[in-house]
Structure 1
Amino acid sequence: MDLINLSDADNSVRMHVLGRRGPGVLPVHDLLDAEIIVESSFIRGCLNVCFYLSDLEEWSLALDALSVGQNVEWLDSGNGPAIRIELPSDDCDVPVVFIEDASGSNTSATIPIVLDDGWIEEQREHLRGVVRTWPSEVLKMSPGAYEWRR
């Protein structure tokens, strides 16, 4: 299931969620495995990532920021890949998606994408689908202490 799906006739950036990293195992039950898939006429690539369901709240806030014209960065925790979306500006007339994996492969991709009206709401629908499919089921009680939600 896609969490992010940004595409036009030539370029696309997708984050495809594969599922839980360790179903039934505290605390990694709420850790999702995913892959970022970049495709254009010039490059194609796939980057494996994982993130906690709690990171989805930050993605929701990023979508809110995009809806009011702000650029965003998501998943940049300093030890993994980051996704940055910059909206049209004086320098560029279409949104640009940056994928950076500074701590892993030390590579990056810059993908301009012509997005249709309503693209932010489409991303919100993807987010709702992921949350419905993999709801958060683990509570962090204190550092290193977890329990199942009731």
Structure 2
Amino acid sequence: MGDGVPRELISLADDEGNSVAVNVHGRNPRWTAGLDAEIVVKTPFVSGRIHLGLDVGRLKKWADTLDRLDAGEDAAWMKMSRGPSIVVQLTGERDCPEVAVEDVSGSMVTVRVPLVPPDDWIADHRRRLRLVMDHWVPMLSG
């Protein structure tokens, strides 16, 4: 999408073809304080996607999650809310970082994706968050 609008809030990928992304599609037409987004999981074995509603509170909680990860702690984003959540373990079962996408309240499915992000991934995700917030938050009401 070459329109200059920030669409990728999260983009974690490795050279093995494993990735977890959160893509922002735009304002939610039925929720003036929210954005339409989706979590996309791709691996050589399994791929899937799930709808996600984002608001300012969830975006701020992603910033908190990045702070915890930067401090060397495992962290969960949206774990206590309805809908899907993302859990990042800095050292997973395979001695590398692991991202779990959980949809406990809906499909009751959890997908764990081991991946090794680049060294600067937290700084990159803070930049992504800032771009998304700068562009989308002024358009939201509520």
- Shared fold per TM-score greater than 0.5: yes
Residue type of the partner of 1:83?
I
Residue type of the partner of 1:11?
N
Q: What is the rounded CA distance, in whole Å, between the counterparts of 2:35 and 2:57 in structure 1?
A: 10
Whether 1:16 and 2:23 are equivalent positions in the alignment is yes
Match of 1:116 in 2: 118
Q: What is the rounded CA distance, in whole Å, between the counterparts of 1:86 and 1:92 in structure 2?
A: 11
User: Number of matched residues?
Assistant: 134
Q: Which runs of 4+ in 1 moved over 4 A?
A: none
Conservation of the 8 A alpha-carbon contact between 1:2 and 1:17? yes
Residue type of the partner of 1:46?
R
Residue type of the partner of 1:50?
G
Superposition deviation, residue 75 in structure 1: 1.2
The runs of 5 or more residues in structure 2 that have no matched partner are 1-6
Length-normalised TM-score, structure 2: 0.88
Identity, in percent, stands at: 35
Equivalent residue of 1:103, what SS?
A: coil
Q: What is the rounded CA distance, in whole Å, between the counterparts of 1:129 and 1:113 in structure 2?
A: 24
Superposition deviation, residue 78 in structure 1: 3.7
Length-normalised TM-score, structure 1: 0.83
The runs of 5 or more residues in structure 1 that have no matched partner are 140-150
Equivalent residue of 2:96, what SS?
A: coil
Match of 1:86 in 2: 89
Whether 1:64 and 2:67 are equivalent positions in the alignment is yes
Residue in structure 1 matching 2:37, options 34, 59, 63: 34
Superposition deviation, residue 77 in structure 1: 3.1
Q: What is the rounded CA distance, in whole Å, between the counterparts of 1:87 and 1:110 in structure 2?
A: 13
Superposition deviation, residue 92 in structure 1: 3.5
**Root-mean-square deviation (Å):** 1.5
